[in-house]
């Protein structure tokens, strides 16, 4: 890979694919970007990025000198030497894996698959997907994995908005369908990232990704339950965590919140529990953590209703409410699986009138879980807006929000992120939930 003469194709120009494109371009490779959405292709080909934290300069520069092109013409996959798949792997309404995007991509690759190509799946999925779903579709061409083409799995490890780690600086786990595939994929990623971590198989690499995210989900469930236990005791769980994390060993801080968001943590545990049933293995601990985290939006709404009742006995029905933040985490515009959307839906079901303010999300996009909220627009955060509300619910603690103004003018502030305390804002009308 020293000559950077391989053409890399990235399938899926989303929160994983675009950083991959930028990383490959910075490493000196020519890149083709593929997406089924013509509008997204057009945006990328204009030199822009719809992802706020991704710099557009490498894309614009590569477009100018001909080293990059985005397209929805999947017949061009045959031009690539390495094809990196970064497509969504959501859950169905029955909480079962939906691999339709992976399957459709595999079928597109198969139409132009040629000897010598490397195909790498990066999408999060259950152990066995690469060999059981991807490999048969590619081998239906008559070409054989490990002989004619090479197949590998390397899980994405993106953390949108994290300024400390980029795609290039995060170690890359790599499992191959055979030694040759692993070595070839490792050689490619050695040219892209700071460190590679080869493992024995594609299934092992798939399991690594699930462990990483289930670890986070379980520990978030733990502190969410601790909050539920400590609150009636008059104990502030955030103060407990801050004190506990001074221990230099044996403890890692996790923080409670209004629910889980993003593509990975709310979804990945269900991939493993679904696959485990094939082997008659119960995943009770993981499922319990999922139940606790899924229940958090309901608990927050109940806490809000209690705070409204205590303040003036008005309850949720007919209340004017303002939600601060609809992105799933601070300082990004990503609303995938955002608990804020669930909170808005639950509050509306209880008869509340709900508006939202988010400096990074001017309009709620179409989402699988809450299509009824699509098109709702962020309202201005000003004295007039705050004075009309019965309560402000802080769901996402973006840095670009004037919380002092919120505390000064809102009659009730329900804080699910502890941001008021972190900023030294106090008041009897501030309630943690």
Q: What are 91's strand-pairing partners? A: 97
Q: Do 80 and 163 have their domain in common?
A: yes
Taking the alpha carbons at both ends of the chain, their separation in whole angstroms is: 52
Q: Do 191 and 245 have their domain in common?
A: no
CA angle 73–76–78, rounded 5-degree value = 150
270: pLDDT confidence band, cut at 50, 70 and 90?
confident
Share above pLDDT 90 across residues of the chain, in percent, rounded to a whole number: 84
From 10-19, 265-274, 391-400, 418-427, the region with the lowest mean pLDDT: 265-274
1: pLDDT confidence band, cut at 50, 70 and 90?
low
Evaluate whether residue 205 is within a structural domain. Answer: no
- Give yes or no for residue 2 having a pLDDT over 60: no
Cα–Cα distance measured from residue 225 to residue 370, given in angstroms and rounded to the nearest whole number: 26
Q: Do 299 and 421 have their domain in common?
A: yes
- Give yes or no for residue 22 having a pLDDT over 60: yes
271: pLDDT confidence band, cut at 50, 70 and 90?
confident
Q: Which domain, by its residues, includes 181?
A: 8-200
- The structural domain count of the chain equals 2
**Given 69, 108, 264, 420, which residue is catalytic?**
264
pLDDT tens per residue, range 212-253 = 999 999 999 999 999 999 999 999 999 999 999 999 999 999
- State the number of CA atoms in the 13 A half-sphere of 47 facing the CB: 10
With the CA atoms of 375, 418, 15 and 357 taken in that order, what torsion angle do they form, in degrees rounded to the nearest 10?
Answer: 20
Domain boundary among 173, 200, 227: 200
Domain boundary among 200, 232, 257: 200
Q: Do 34 and 153 have their domain in common?
A: yes
- Give yes or no for residue 91 having a pLDDT over 90: no
- For the residues 117-127, what does the mean pLDDT come to? 96
Q: Do 183 and 247 have their domain in common?
A: no
- For the residues 120-125, what does the mean pLDDT come to? 96
Check residue 158 and give its pLDDT.
86
Q: Do 124 and 222 have their domain in common?
A: no
E strands in 6-129: 8-11, 31-34, 68-71, 82-85, 118-121
Q: Do 141 and 104 have their domain in common?
A: yes
Helix axes 284-312 and 268-278, enclosed angle (nearest 10): 140
Q: Do 237 and 317 have their domain in common?
A: yes
pLDDT tens per residue, range 408-431 = 999 999 999 999 999 999 999 999
- For the residues 318-346, what does the mean pLDDT come to? 95
Evaluate whether residue 209 is within a structural domain. Answer: no
What is the pTM for the complete model shown?
A: 0.92
Evaluate whether residue 210 is within a structural domain. Answer: no
Q: Do 236 and 180 have their domain in common?
A: no
Residue 106 contacts by C-beta under 8 Å, 6 or more apart in sequence? 133, 134, 137, 138
Evaluate whether residue 311 is within a structural domain. Answer: yes
Is 264 a known active-site residue? yes
Q: Do 66 and 186 have their domain in common?
A: yes
Q: Do 243 and 188 have their domain in common?
A: no
Evaluate whether residue 1 is within a structural domain. Answer: no
CATH number, residue 346: 3.40.50.720
- For the residues 107-127, what does the mean pLDDT come to? 97
């Amino acid at each position: 890979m020293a000559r950077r003469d391989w053409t890399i194709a990235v399938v899926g120009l989303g929160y994983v694919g675009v950083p991959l494109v930028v990383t490959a371009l910075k490493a000196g490779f020519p890149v083709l970007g593929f997406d089924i959405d013509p509008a997204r292709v057009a945006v990328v080909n204009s030199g822009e990025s719809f992802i706020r934290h991704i710099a557009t300069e490498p894309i614009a520069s590569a477009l100018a000198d001909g080293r990059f092109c985005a397209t929805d013409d999947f017949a061009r996959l045959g031009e690539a030497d390495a094809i990196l798949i970064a497509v969504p792997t959501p859950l169905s309404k029955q909480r079962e894996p939906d691999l339709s995007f992976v399957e459709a991509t595999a079928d597109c690759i198969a139409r132009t698959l040629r000897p010598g190509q490397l195909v790498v799946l990066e999408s999060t999925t259950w152990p066995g997907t690469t060999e059981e779903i991807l490999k048969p579709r590619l081998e239906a061409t008559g070409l054989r994995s490990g002989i004619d083409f090479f197949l590998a799995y390397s899980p994405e490890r993106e953390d949108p908005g994290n300024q400390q780690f980029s795609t290039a600086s995060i170690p890359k786990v790599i499992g191959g369908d055979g030694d040759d595939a692993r070595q070839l994929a490792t050689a490619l990623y050695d040219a892209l990232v700071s460190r590679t971590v080869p493992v024995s198989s594609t299934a092992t690499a798939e399991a690594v990704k699930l462990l990483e995210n289930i670890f986070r989900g379980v520990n978030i469930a733990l502190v969410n339950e601790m909050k539920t236990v400590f609150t009636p005791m008059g104990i502030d769980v955030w103060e407990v965590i801050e004190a506990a994390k001074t221990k230099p060993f044996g403890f890692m801080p996790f923080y409670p919140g209004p629910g889980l968001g993003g593509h990975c943590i709310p979804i990945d545990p269900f991939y493993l529990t679904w696959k485990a049933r094939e082997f008659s293995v119960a995943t009770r601990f993981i499922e319990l953590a999922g139940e606790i985290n899924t229940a958090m939006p309901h608990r927050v709404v109940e806490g809000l209703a209690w705070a409204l009742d205590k303040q003036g006995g008005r309850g949720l029905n007919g209340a004017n409410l303002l939600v601060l933040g609809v992105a799933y985490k601070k300082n990004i515009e990503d609303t995938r699986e955002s608990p804020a959307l669930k909170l808005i839906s639950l509050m509306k079901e209880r008869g509340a009138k709900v508006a939202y303010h988010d400096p990074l999300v001017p309009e709620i996009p179409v989402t699988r879980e809450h299509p009824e909220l699509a098109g709702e627009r962020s309202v201005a955060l000003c004295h007039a807006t705050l004075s009309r509300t019965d309560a402000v619910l802080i769901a996402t603690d973006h840095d670009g929000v004037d919380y002092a103004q919120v505390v000064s003018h809102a009659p009730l502030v329900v804080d699910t992120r502890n941001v008021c305390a972190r900023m030294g804002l106090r008041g009897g009308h501030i309630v943690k939930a």
